[in-house]
């Protein structure tokens, strides 16, 4: 017996998991304290975003001083060198700053499971502000997603939310981890809270639509997707999800158009990959019947 179409079609929870596994979790959203946002250097340009390693664009600052700044600056261009620098610095008593830089270097070197554990331990014992510690837990959550472990990711996001319960980005992070485990009702609770806190956050509307779809509430899901597309009309993830909803409502032409548009907008993204798979599934469907 074939799975229901709503489960066969691949949507944004799958896209988020694929993005994480490919090393792009931190490019989705990385909550950071206001101090971190002010201290972080701006990106060099569009190419810098496209070629960035899987590191948070605005690392929360757990320390001050030239050693910490130099280690963070080295991460993107030379993560192996940054790891060596951090280990040597830690031996000299570098403390939280050295441990943070080392964890991020391990992440950039493709060891997200080791990085995630270090980040969790660092967040638990750090002496920084609640906002900084929550951001480290958020990094741990995203690292666990990159390691393919949404269960641990959910736990780390929950710890972050105990420190910053009204952070919508953290709520979205935990919802993604819940959705990746098929826990859509729990994801919906967090996404309801996220959109109530920040109604301009398009990604929260997109993921809430996906959760609603999985809970068979397709009319409400379509309303959320239209809200997301009003906020960001060229949102590939929203188009991916709207295509699924249109397919479920029998609008095959509309679904095809949305998926083709998602591919055209971001051809190398996980959303585009899943749109291609949905197009292939859509084409194969009539032949199966």
What pLDDT is recorded for position 115? 97
The alpha helices in 44-129, defined as continuous H runs, are 46-51, 66-74, 79-91, 95-108, 112-125
Structurally, at CATH architecture level, domain 1-28+170-289 sits in: Alpha Horseshoe (1.25)
Q: What is the pLDDT of residue 286?
A: 53
Domain ranges for the chain, please list them.
Answer: 1-28+170-289
Q: Which tokens sit at 285?
A: 């469907």
Opening angle at CA 44, ends 41 and 48, nearest 5: 115
* 289, two tokens: 């019947």
Which has the closest alpha carbon to 165: 142, 132, 144, 193? 193
Residue closest to 140 by CA, chosen among 161, 112, 168:
112
Q: How far is CA 272 from the centre of its chain?
A: 16
Distance CA 170, CA 176 (A): 10
Helix then strand count (H, E) for the chain reads: 18, 0
The two three-digit tokens of residue 106, written as one number: 């391990």
pLDDT at 26: 42
- For residues 126 and 139, give the distance between their C-alpha atoms in angstroms, rounded to a whole number: 14
For residue 60, the model assigns a pLDDT of: 63
Q: How far apart are CA 29 and CA 15, in angstroms?
A: 14
Rounded CA separation 194/192 (Å)? 6
Question: Is 0.85 topped by the overall pTM?
Answer: no
pLDDT in tens, 161-199: 999 999 999 999 999 999 999 999 999 999 999 999 999
Distance CA 100, CA 151 (A): 23
Best CA proximity match to 173, nearest among 62, 26, 272: 26
Structure tokens at 81: 């060198």
CA separation, residue 190 to residues 5, 98, 117, 218, 260 (Å): 25, 33, 24, 19, 30
Region of 15 (left: φ > 0; alpha: ψ -120 to 50; beta: rest) is alpha
Q: Among 197, 201, 195, 268, which residue's Cα sits nearest to residue 231?
A: 201
Low-confidence ranges of the chain (pLDDT < 70): 1-10, 18, 21-60, 285-289
Cα 35 from Cα 83, distance rounded (Å): 24
Show the tokens assigned to 118.
């270090």
CA distance linking residue 162 with residue 112, whole number of Å: 23
Q: How far apart are CA 221 and CA 231, in angstroms?
A: 16
- Looking at residue 164, the DSSP 8-state letter turns out to be -
User: What is the distance in angstroms between the CA of the first residue and the CA of the last residue of the chain?
Assistant: 12
């Amino acid at each position: 017996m074939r799975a229901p179409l709503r489960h066969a079609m691949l949507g944004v929870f799958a896209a988020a998991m694929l993005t994480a596994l490919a090393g792009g979790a931190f490019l989705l959203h990385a909550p950071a304290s206001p101090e971190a946002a002010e201290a972080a250097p701006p990106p060099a340009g569009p190419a810098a975003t496209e070629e960035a390693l899987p590191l948070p664009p605005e690392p929360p600052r757990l320390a001050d001083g030239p050693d910490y700044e130099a280690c963070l600056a080295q991460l993107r261009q030379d993560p192996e060198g940054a790891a060596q620098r951090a280990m040597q610095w830690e031996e000299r008593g570098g403390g939280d700053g050295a441990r943070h830089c080392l964890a991020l270097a391990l992440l950039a070197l493709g060891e997200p499971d080791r990085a995630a554990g270090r980040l969790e331990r660092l967040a638990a014992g750090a002496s920084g502000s609640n906002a900084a510690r929550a951001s480290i837990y958020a990094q741990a959550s995203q690292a666990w997603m990159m390691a393919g472990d949404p269960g641990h990711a959910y736990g780390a996001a929950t710890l972050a939310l105990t420190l910053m319960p009204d952070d919508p980005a953290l709520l979205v992070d935990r919802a993604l981890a819940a959705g990746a485990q098929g826990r859509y009702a729990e994801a919906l609770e967090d996404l309801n809270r996220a959109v109530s806190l920040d109604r301009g956050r398009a990604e929260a509307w997109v993921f809430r639509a996906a959760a609603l779809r999985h809970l068979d509430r397709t009319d409400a899901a379509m309303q959320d997707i239209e809200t997301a597309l009003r906020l960001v009309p060229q949102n590939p993830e929203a188009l991916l999800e709207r295509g699924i909803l249109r397919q479920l409502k029998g609008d095959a032409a509309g679904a095809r158009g949305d998926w083709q548009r998602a591919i055209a907008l971001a051809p190398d993204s996980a959303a585009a990959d899943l749109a291609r798979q949905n197009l292939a599934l859509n084409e194969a469907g009539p032949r199966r019947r």
